[in-house]
Amino acid sequence: MAEKRHSRKQTEENKNKGMSRIIIIILSAAAICLLMIMGMRVYKEGKIPKAPAENRAAGGSEAGNKGSGKGAADAGGMGGGTAAGSGVTGNGAAGSDFTGNGAAGSNVTGSGVNGNVAAGNINDQDTAFENIINSMNLEEKIAQMFIITPEALTGFEQVTDAGEATRNGLVHYPVGGLVYFKPNIQNPQQVKEMIASTKEFADSAVKLPILIAVDEEGGTVARLAGNPQFSVEKFPDMSVIGASGDLDKAYEVGQTIGGYLKEYGFNMNFAPDADVLTNPGNTVVAMRSFGSDPGLVSAMAGQVAEGLKDQGIIPVYKHFPGHGSTKGDTHEGFAYTDRTLDELRKSELVPFAQAVNDGRPCIMAAHIAAVAVDGNKPASLSKTLITDVLREEMGFTGVVITDALNMGAIQSLYSSGDAAILAVEAGADILLMPADFKEAYEALVNAVKEGRISEERIIISLKRIAAMKAGL
């Protein structure tokens, strides 16, 4: 019996030891699994997540978000206080001003339709664009710096569809974008098919996404809404919207226009008009401007831009340094403002300073001459205004596009080649509609080959352009 009890006791001890081993094995396995899970979490959190496509398409600073109704006016400089970080002060009346660098120290990178674009800097999710730029030859790089009409691309007098001439044109001149006007826009189906075919050709011929641009401000400047074939919502002139003081309505303008532009295939709109109307006799932008109060114009333009952005459309602020005080019409010939730089800072430049702060991706340089700042030189060709004021003083790191270079203010004084070279030397990134595209293109190519402009300067513009296009 004693032997049996001893045997039974030993068996029980063996069972207990076996159970202990099993428990230890289970606990060890659980600990290993927990460590693996934690390790994976650390690994994942250590990576920069790729933004969803919809976020990339509408990326950028939230400083200009719609907010809540009229209260958003405070961020635009109407409310008395300073918009955060912008340097835009006060009540937005004549006393409004900005100081120092409008986006001082904000060496921000970005992507998407409205990312905060840093000069020569593309963030991690867009490094592929940098590789593409490095793979381009000089001619391809320079072609990216032009937005032209489909007529200039194909040689046809009027283009209403995209066929072999468009395909061949993009193969020979892989331009950064095309802009469409009333003669190109006949009816909804035709526009959809023309743009879809153009994008298809560009996908195989152009190494970066192609910009498809239009002037659709609303009111009198509306290429689609002004065509009775298009059943889209029509808006009054922006002077009416501005007079209402309704920021929700301004956002609605941008969102609605952006919605139908997106539907037809556009991805860039030369709007909003950010001109402060300081000259009552100005007829060029009288109905297109939101008004004479720089704070109101800043807020209204910001809401239109935000509405466009939310629909995936790149907004283009115009016409830097401000067309509202000018005498003359740059469409016809020389136009100028006699306001000093200090006077411009307190009024005309305020909406552009706010655009910089809000991370807007593109500003259009007008052909007006600020004679007290840089003599008779058009702003679009002025290094003082584009580089010294807009970039260095105001802190703009995005894309500068010229106004149309076939306008009288340029064409009557400069050849297409000279204008292109001077614009790039001044700091412009995209050249819009030179009177003679091929002359302008060849002049830039030769300027680089001959050493007047460095290829590094071209690459700086290409990086800005690529960052802006990242969400397309």
Give the model confidence (pLDDT) of 205-228 as tens digits. 999 999 999 999 999 999 999 999
Digit-coded pLDDT (tens) for 236-293 = 999 999 999 999 999 999 999 999 999 999 999 999 999 999 988 887 888 999 999 9
In a domain, 6, yes or no: no
Instruction: Assess if residue 4 is contained within a domain.
Output: no
Q: Containing H/E element for 419? A: helix 416-426
- Tell me what pLDDT residue 3 has: 38
The answer on 31 and 143 residing in a single domain is no
CATH code where residue 288 lies? 3.20.20.300
Determine contact, residues 138/455, Cβ cutoff 8 Å: yes
Residues 39 and 60 in one domain: no
- Is the whole model's pTM more than 0.75, yes or no? yes
Whole-number Cα distances in Å, 341 to 56, 272, 278, 371, 389: 37, 23, 15, 10, 9
Q: Are residues 87 and 205 in the same domain?
A: yes
> What token pair was written down for 66?
């719609």
Asked if the bond preceding 319 is cis, omega within 30° of 0, the reply is yes
The residue type at 142: I
Q: Given this model, what pLDDT does residue 19 score? A: 53
Its sign, for the CA torsion 329, 333, 339, 340, is positive
Among the listed residues 403, 418, 429, 436, the single catalytic one is 403
> What are the tokens at 360?
């807007």
Question: Using CB atoms within 10 A of its CB, is residue 366 exposed (0-12), middle (13-18) or buried (19+)?
Answer: buried
The residues pairing with 432 across neighbouring beta strands, listed in sequence order, are: 147
Distance between CA atoms of residues 362 and 360, nearest Å:
6
Vertex 349: Cα angle to 86 and 352 (nearest 5): 55
Same domain assignment for residues 184 and 238: yes
More confident residue, 109 or 300: 300
pLDDT mean across residues, the chain: 80
Q: Are residues 141 and 212 in the same domain?
A: yes
* 143 and 46 fall within a common domain: no
Whether residues 28 and 153 share a domain: the answer is no
Owner of token pair 């659980």: 30
**Residue found under tokens 């306008």:** 407
What is residue 327's predicted lDDT score, i.e. its pLDDT? 64
Domain range for 39: 21-50
φ, ψ at 444 (rounded to 5°): -70, -45
Of all residues in the chain, the percent with pLDDT exceeding 90 is: 67
pLDDT at 56 > cutoff 50? no
Neighbours of 147 (CB within 10 A): 24
* Residue 11 within a domain: no
Radius of gyration of the chain measured on its C-alpha atoms:
28
Secondary structure of residue 274 in the 3-state scheme: coil
**Claim to verify: residue 150 and residue 27 sit in the same structural domain:** no
Which tops the pLDDT comparison, 79 or 8? 8
Question: With contact defined as beta carbons under 8 Å apart, do 55 and 310 qualify?
Answer: no
Judge whether 8 lies within some domain: no
Is 3 inside any structural domain?
Answer: no
The verdict on whether 342 is a catalytic residue reads: no
Q: Is residue 13 part of a domain?
A: no
Q: Where among 50, 71, 87 does a domain terminate?
A: 50
Residue 1, pLDDT above cutoff 60: no
Domain tally for the chain? 2
Q: Is residue 241 part of a domain?
A: yes
Distance of CA 421 to the CA centre of its chain: 23
